[in-house]
Amino acid sequence: MNTEEYKKIDWNKLLRKDLGEYSLEVAKPNLDRIKSIFDEILNYPNLDQLSDNFKNQIQSQLNSLVQFANQIVNNFQNTSERQTWINNIKNKEFEVYQNLSNIYGYIKDFDPARDERLKDVIKKSEERIKKLNEDLSKTEALLQQAQKKAVQSEVMEYGNFFGNEAVKNERTAKINRWLMFGSVALTAVLSVIFLQNIKFVSSEEMTFFENVLQTINAQNILIKFVLLSLGGFLIAHFSKVHSTEKNLYNLNIQRQNALNSHKQILDSVVATESENEKEVRNAILLELTKAIFANHETGYLKGSKDNPGPASQIVEITKTLPK
């Protein structure tokens, strides 16, 4: 069987890309199918053992295809005939399939290497599926890590927020502490000055009550009293603001520590391999939530209704867990 002319066919040249927009690129799938049919038949390992009738059919179609290919290369010059040549290629595909379908089917059914090829295909498919599963597992692991990092990053962001608030509280408390000390010093100085200059006015012509009023009026005692009262008010005000800011500072530091340490605490529960891991984690999360959002006694606002004493329930919660 002479296949030399068939092997010389330049399939890319058949697309006539040299004609630009009038090329036969649209017919490439048809040419690919024609080529695959001939390649499948010519690569059949027992081709020489086929009947002469089969061989003659194959040779006839080979010669016809070679002639058709030469016509495409040499005769297709008029771009107005583009659609005609596209139709010719489609018709050629139908002709090849119609004339060689019996041989093509015979080779497919009785190819001695078919089982080996099928095994190879199955093996490659299994390997591909295995690789896909591995890639999927890696992707899921990366996704979980990304989610954990995102959550951890968000938690750290909240922790940093409370830390920044604590810094502001500390700065404000320090300012008010110095203002309080200044108010105390100023009030003390004014008190000493005012007390040294106070002299009781005594006149026999006036009653005691009139003498008291005259003393107050003559020495501006009322104004001095107002000034000293204002000093006392400033002392009380700055002292209260200082205590409030220190209280908020401690609360925000506690919240920051709770947020920054929650992961290590929860991971330690997993490390212990507790039978009631889920319940213990929930109990710890409850306490962490309380540590973050509840108001606790810090010593700066004792007796305040907004700062009830802490009442840890983790022991009571763990007691109720099933054993």
Q: How confident is the model at residue 173 (pLDDT cuts 50, 70, 90)?
A: confident
Query: Of the segments 78-87, 208-217, 267-276, which one has the largest average pLDDT value?
Result: 78-87
Q: How confident is the model at residue 321 (pLDDT cuts 50, 70, 90)?
A: very low
Instruction: Give residue 286's pLDDT.
Output: 74
Query: Of the segments 180-194, 206-220, 295-309, which one has the largest average pLDDT value?
Result: 180-194
Instruction: Give residue 265's pLDDT.
Output: 62
How many CA atoms within 13 Å lie on the side-chain side of 27?
Answer: 26
Domain extents in the chain: 4-112, 156-319
For all residues of the chain together, what is the average pLDDT? 76
Rounded average pLDDT over 161-179: 87
Specify the DSSP element, H or E, that contains 188.
helix 114-196
Q: Which long-range contacts (CB under 8 A, 24 or more apart) does 98-104 make?
A: 99/57, 99/60, 99/61, 100/37, 100/38, 100/41, 100/57, 100/58, 100/61, 103/41, 103/50, 103/54, 103/57, 103/58, 104/37, 104/40, 104/41
Q: Is the pLDDT of residue 91 over 90?
A: yes
All residues at 6 or more sequence positions from 152 whose CB lies less than 8 Å from its CB, including other chains: 263
Instruction: Give residue 315's pLDDT.
Output: 43
Q: Is the pLDDT of residue 122 over 80?
A: yes
Q: Is the pLDDT of residue 89 over 80?
A: yes
Q: Is the pLDDT of residue 78 over 60?
A: yes
Rounded average pLDDT over 299-314: 52
Rounded average pLDDT over 114-128: 78
Q: How confident is the model at residue 29 (pLDDT cuts 50, 70, 90)?
A: very high
Nearest to 253 by CA among 154, 164, 152: 164
- Which residue did the predictor score with more confidence, 267 or 93? 93
Q: Which of 5-14, 94-103, 193-202 has the lowest mean pLDDT?
A: 193-202
Report pTM.
0.41
CA distance 79 to 16: 11
- Which residue did the predictor score with more confidence, 196 or 28? 28
Instruction: Give residue 314's pLDDT.
Output: 41
Cα 121 from chain centroid (whole Å): 39
Rounded average pLDDT over 96-106: 84
Identify whether the C-beta of residue 307 lies closer than 8 Å to the C-beta of residue 295. yes
- Name the token pair of 171: 């700065």
Q: How confident is the model at residue 52 (pLDDT cuts 50, 70, 90)?
A: confident
Q: How confident is the model at residue 212 (pLDDT cuts 50, 70, 90)?
A: low
Instruction: Give residue 312's pLDDT.
Output: 45
Specify the DSSP element, H or E, that contains 263.
helix 221-271
Nearest to 255 by CA among 301, 297, 290: 290
